[in-house]
Amino acid sequence: MVDPLTLVAFVPAALALNLTPGADMMFCLGQGLRSGARAAWAASAGIALGGMVHVLLAGAGLSALLTSWPVAFDVIRWLGVAYLSWLAFQALRRPIPSLQALPPRAVSAFRAGLIVNLTNPKVILFVLAFIPQFVQPEAGPVLFQFIVFGVVLSLGGLAVNGLLGMGAGSLGQRLAQGSRLLDILTASIFAALALRLALLERT
């Protein structure tokens, strides 16, 4: 069981974090601009699933081992940099005349969101720093509490990132009527996320 009062305290804290601009939010904005609301929601779902993977690893104690091994941390980080850079290149490589001409991208957007989240080692550090503050070993199994708190955090992120990406999709439809502005804007978002991850330091 999770202490009800603790859960009540966790929900607004998690929502405040969900509303804080970050890499996941920017990625969903980029997906919304590039491919519309459906892709934005799919990317948000992939990010939410990736977050749950981090939560399960943290609850099982594996993330602590991972973050204590600098080589593993850097490998994950540079895989994320490479993937985001590739997404930026792909955004520039194929000009888009209109969003209506795009095939459904839900599956690829979901996969991209999942990979981007899993290759961001900062998420591992965040989960280890945030969720244990609310875990009470005397209240029940620690892993179960991690899962409950992770579900709350992931559902909030799914809603916030999905809604923002959906709004970006409406903007993207208007931008798509122009030249390559949409491609350049989307590529810039992905490139900025890659640079941010490249400059990330272990703290």
Q: Residue 161 falls within a domain, yes or no? A: yes
| Number of structural domains the chain divides into | 1
Q: Which H or E element spans position 91?
A: helix 70-93
Q: What is the pTM of this model?
A: 0.77
How many residues belong to the chain? 203
- What percentage of the chain carries pLDDT values higher than 90? 19
Q: Residue 52 falls within a domain, yes or no? A: yes
Report residue 180 as tokens: 């390559």
Q: Residue 69 falls within a domain, yes or no? A: yes
What are the pLDDT digits (tens) for 101-118?
A: 444 478 889 999 999 899
Report residue 36 as tokens: 């519309």
Q: Domain range spanning residue 145?
A: 34-198
pLDDT, position 172 = 59
C-beta separation of 153 from 17 below 8 A? yes
Query: Which has the closest alpha carbon to 24: 199, 196, 202?
Result: 196
What are the pLDDT digits (tens) for 26-58?
A: 888 888 887 788 889 999 999 999 999 999 988
Q: Is 21 left (phi over 0), alpha (psi -120 to 50) or beta?
A: beta
Distance CA 104, CA 13 (A): 35
Q: Residue 10 falls within a domain, yes or no? A: no
Q: Residue 162 falls within a domain, yes or no? A: yes
Report residue 60 as tokens: 């099982």
Q: Residue 126 falls within a domain, yes or no? A: yes
Q: Residue 11 falls within a domain, yes or no? A: no
